[in-house]
A and B are shown apart, each in its own frame.
Chain A
Amino acid sequence: MAKSKTDPENMLPLTPAVFHVLLALAGGERHGYAIMQEVAASTDGQIKMGPGTLYGTVKRLLEAQLIEESDERPDPHLDDDRRRYYRLTGVGEEVVRAEARRYAEIVELARGKKLIRKLA
């Protein structure tokens, strides 16, 4: 059966930058700097996104309606109100889940071929 155009599977595989940004937003809405920090922390500093890559990715994700801009502020006193916050849309959440499943399947495949061991 042909997949529909809005099927999240159609958008896979994601580029590493897109996947990491979506993963960062899966933990809640964040502004650009917080996304960058989250990505750096979750990859042990191996991926440090520059402003160009981050906002290029954000632009494409907004166009694909995988994320949306949020008007809410966690606490206006604690933050610069010029910062722009982003959050996952429903489709975005489905896509990041689908990509995570895809990675999990790949990991299982690698385990089946004894390339990696199960975590204790």
Chain B
Amino acid sequence: MTRNFNNQTLAVSQTVYGWLLRAYPPAHRAEYGPAMAQLFRDQCRDAWSEAQGWGMVKLWLRVLPDLVNTSIAERLSTLNQRKSMSDKMSALFRPLTSPLVVFFTVFTIVFLSVLMVSVAVTFILPESYASTCRIKVEQEAILRADTSAYDPYFLQTTFEIIQSQLVLNPVIDKLNLNVQWGKKYFNGETLKSAESLEILKGRMSLADVRGTKLIAITVYSDDKKEAAQIANAIAEAYRDYRVKAAAALATVMINRLQQESLNNEQRIEQVRTEANSLRQQLKIGSEISDNPSPQEQTYWDKKQYLDGLLETHKTLYAKIEAEKLDAQFPKTSPMQITDLAEPGRFPVKPNKPLNIFIGAVAGGFLGLVAGATSALISVKLGNRGRKAVASA
């Protein structure tokens, strides 16, 4: 498949170059055309083996100015070889009988040249596929029904976290991208994680789906399967990060509640000791009398306070158990993968119709300018030539 594509790319370039050789004078073309075409073939082969599509683009960027400059030089040289002034005049005006013909000829050549180059470049450029994975994210505070801790920058923070080393380094390790990309793009040299990270960041884009809690993670690659694998791996790595973060938060909460419970127990013990001491000292029964003395009232107040502390202790215990249970079996996940990425069916780059359209527009514009300029020059030269012939 790749071999066919290579052959096709080189064949298109060579065909275009063979057509562009018409810019040279017929005699020069007959003498050196085949040799030039052969040299261009050799250069195409070198450029492709050096850097595939990009090598071909660089070759064309070198060859096109060379072709324009040397074809004009050869045309002028041929013109200067004409022996007499009348030959020169006839050479100038014989094929191009009117400014309108000059205009349309130049316009057509420029328009077709630019269009063909844009078509060739479009088909030579490497193709890129996109795969998108969608995830639903929730704020930790919302999950805990703590609306006072709502974070207005939650989405932006999430974007930054997804693009951070915390999430992307596990993706690089999981898919062995240091080795895979080293083989693919750097002649087998294993990359550093920081280098792979930069490449990965350059190939991914994040976008929020308007009016929802969804985030679209899109990854671009010249390999459609790789694009989907990376997009899914990023989503999974972010989910792991959120689960770990939620577990860490739950641990902090449990520790805090346990510390509070311990303090409460110590307070209960202290108040219970004081109450028992008062009760024994004042010989108070289990029921409160109708008119308790101030000392007895102190006891009953302590008793009431102790009951409150015991109630708080029960509540704290229930909270700790609930937190433990929630940490093990969360009621709601902080992040869900709603749509897994699938390999794209068609490449998203280069945008062939757009590129060809731009080529056609640019070719039309340049053709108009070149055609109008040429027609103007031919009118001026014609007038000057006719004056010269008349005066001779």
The chain A residues found within 8 Å of chain B, CB to CB, are 32-33, 36, 48-56, 58-59, 80, 82-84
Contact = CB atoms under 8 A, between A and B. Distances in A.
What does DSSP make chain B's interface, helix, strand, loop or mixed? helix
Contacts of A51: 35-37, 39-40, 43, 63, 66-67
Contact of A52 (B34, B38, B71): B71
Interface in B193-232: none
Interface string B8-29: 0000000000000000100010
Contact of B39 (A33, A56, A59): A33
A49 B66 CA distance: 8
Nearest to B71: A52
B35 A50 contact: no
A36 B62 CA distance: 14
Contacts, number: 56
For this complex, into which size category does the number of interface residues on chain B fall? 20 to 34
Interface in B68-86: 69-71, 73-74
7 contacts: A33-B39, A33-B42, A50-B66, A51-B35, A53-B70, A56-B74, A80-B38
A52 B70 contact: yes
Given A36-B39, A50-B67, A82-B34, 14 more contacts: A32-B38, A33-B38, A33-B43, A50-B62, A50-B66, A51-B35, A51-B36, A52-B36, A52-B63, A52-B69, A54-B36, A56-B73, A59-B31, A83-B38
Contacts of A48: 62
Nearest to A51: B36
Q: Which of B28, B34, B67, B70 lies at the interface centre, i.e. has the most chain A CB atoms within 10 A of its CB?
A: B70
A49 B24 CA distance: 17
A58 B24 CA distance: 15
Contacts of A32: 35-36, 38-39
Contacts of B150: none
Given A32-B39, A83-B38, A53 B66 contact: yes
Contacts of B70: 50, 52-53, 56
A51 B64 CA distance: 10
Contacts of B186: none
B14 to A, nearest CB: 12
Nearest to A34: B42
